Amino acid sequence: MRTILCFALVILFFNCKTEPKKETVTQEKPTTLMAGSDTLIYEGENHFKSIRQITFGGDNAEAYWSFDDQQMIFQSNNADWGLECDQMFLMDVNDNFKDKKPPMVSTGKGRTTCAYFLPGNTHFVYGSTHLDDDACPEVPLRKNGKYVWPVYDSFDIFVADLEGNITAQLTNEPGYDAEATVSPKGDKIVFTSTRSGDLELYTMNLDGSDVKQITNELGYDGGAFFSPDGTKLIFRASRPKTEEAIKEYKELLAQGLVQPTEMELFICNADGSDLKQLTFLGNANWSPFFHPSGEKILFSSNFEAEKGFPFNLYLIDLDGKNLERVTHGQTFDAFPVFSNDGKYLAFSSNRNNGGTRDTNLFIAEWQD
């Protein structure tokens, strides 16, 4: 759950790695769903060789690939699918859901966030509030006039099979446990928890054992992903420094809230050592993911925006150099995730939404 904007003319998309509010902008519809002169690829988006739209309504995000790149799991709150808040859905990579609904693989109860495949491609981990209440928890958007995100203490992390049957519960501590992702090596899970009293990163084995705290600095540490070789972690973090900012952060967290409008990217070894701040851009920098080379980070940011939007995708080297803008939309591009073979990029975008507030999934053929 990551905060990203506090603007009056924007809307919220809530999920595991937090998302921003977005401006409603009317866009022309493309004549096809592939590249070329197609308006799904904007001028300057030279890393996209082709692109496909996967979903066509609601808020859809955090699409993560199976280890064999044949399936994806994502979250959606599409009202046309009978949803009131985010649930998890499974898809084959060649599917699209313009005229059909994908199979739901969460319980349909509570709110879910951040699903991620486990090795073997037969099970996945995800966060859910369903043990606390069958109903969707409320989503406060503002506190004292400022944009906030809820950090539900009812979130725990579960394992389920591809039919949606829960096979294990990995966390059972008081407080928030969510935002779980799995190492490409298939040996560790990284997640965010408030068990220490702050939002810190932890790792654990695939069965929930050997839990280790790997960050320990005041602020929201979340949305972490392993490097392709499993040796490093990239994540977003807030770092309140002034007395006033620290007081505000602690007061909000005590109410199960965070204010995610100022975040930078941090990188460290998988055990938490050699922690370094990667970006110093200002505003909200978040949803980072390693380039297949392991030498760059792709992330979403609104650092160039004067009013909080647009959010676009950027590449940056591991030493913070060679910043490059990848997408050129006027609203919202985020949640970039490379396939394991490095050939495709899944991401969420407001493009081609007909001027609505819908955020849809896209898969682009990537070229360096």
Domains and CATH numbers, the chain: 48-366 (2.120.10.30)
**Rounded CA separation 334/347 (Å):** 6
Angle (CA) 341-292-346 rounded to 5° is 70
**Rounded CA separation 16/34 (Å):** 29
What pLDDT does 306 receive?
Answer: 84
What pLDDT does 38 receive?
Answer: 54
Residue 42 CB burial class (10 angstroms; 0-12, 13-18, ≥19): middle
Q: Kindly indicate the confidence band of residue 29, based on its pLDDT and cuts at 50, 70 and 90.
A: very low
What pLDDT does 141 receive?
Answer: 77
CA 72 remoteness from chain centre: 14
Residue 175 predicted with pLDDT over 60: yes
Q: Kindly indicate the confidence band of residue 23, based on its pLDDT and cuts at 50, 70 and 90.
A: very low
Tell me the mean pLDDT in the region 55-68. 97
Which amino acid is located at 304 in the chain?
E
What pLDDT does 278 receive?
Answer: 98
Question: 58: number of CA atoms within 13 Å, CB side?
Answer: 22
Please give the residue that has the higher pLDDT: either 15 or 159.
159
Direct distance between the N- and C-terminal alpha carbons of the chain, in angstroms, rounded to an integer: 30
CA distances from 66 to 87, 178, 195 (A): 18, 19, 29
Q: Which of 136-140, 218-222, 335-339 has the lowest mean pLDDT?
A: 136-140
Asked whether the beta carbons of 214 and 271 are under 8 A apart, the reply is yes
Asked whether the beta carbons of 358 and 350 are under 8 A apart, the reply is yes
For 138-171, what is each residue's pLDDT tens digit? 988 777 777 899 999 999 999 999 999 999 999 9
- Assign 80 to helix, strand or coil: helix
E strand spans, 66-195: 71-76, 87-92, 112-117, 123-128, 142-143, 146-147, 149-150, 156-161, 166-169, 177-182, 188-193
Residue 33 predicted with pLDDT over 60: no
What pLDDT does 59 receive?
Answer: 97
Tell me the mean pLDDT in the region 250-275. 96
What pLDDT does 25 receive?
Answer: 37
Residues ≥6 apart with Cβ < 8 Å to 277: 264, 265, 266
**Rounded CA separation 29/326 (Å):** 21
Residue 34 predicted with pLDDT over 90: no
What pLDDT does 16 receive?
Answer: 55
What pLDDT does 2 receive?
Answer: 33
- What is the chain's mean pLDDT, rounded? 90
E strand spans, 144-270: 146-147, 149-150, 156-161, 166-169, 177-182, 188-193, 200-205, 212-213, 221-226, 232-237, 257-258, 264-269
**Rounded CA separation 180/190 (Å):** 6
Q: Which of 103-117, 139-153, 246-260 has the lowest mean pLDDT?
A: 139-153
Residue 17 predicted with pLDDT over 90: no
CA proximity to 55, closest of 352, 261, 262, 368: 352
**Rounded CA separation 154/183 (Å):** 25
What pLDDT does 233 receive?
Answer: 98
Please give the residue that has the higher pLDDT: either 57 or 2.
57
Confidence (pTM): 0.91
For 118-128, what is each residue's pLDDT tens digit? 999 999 999 99
Residue 212 predicted with pLDDT over 70: yes
Query: Would you call the peptide bond into 240 cis, given omega within 30 degrees of 0 as the criterion?
Result: no
Residues, the chain: 368
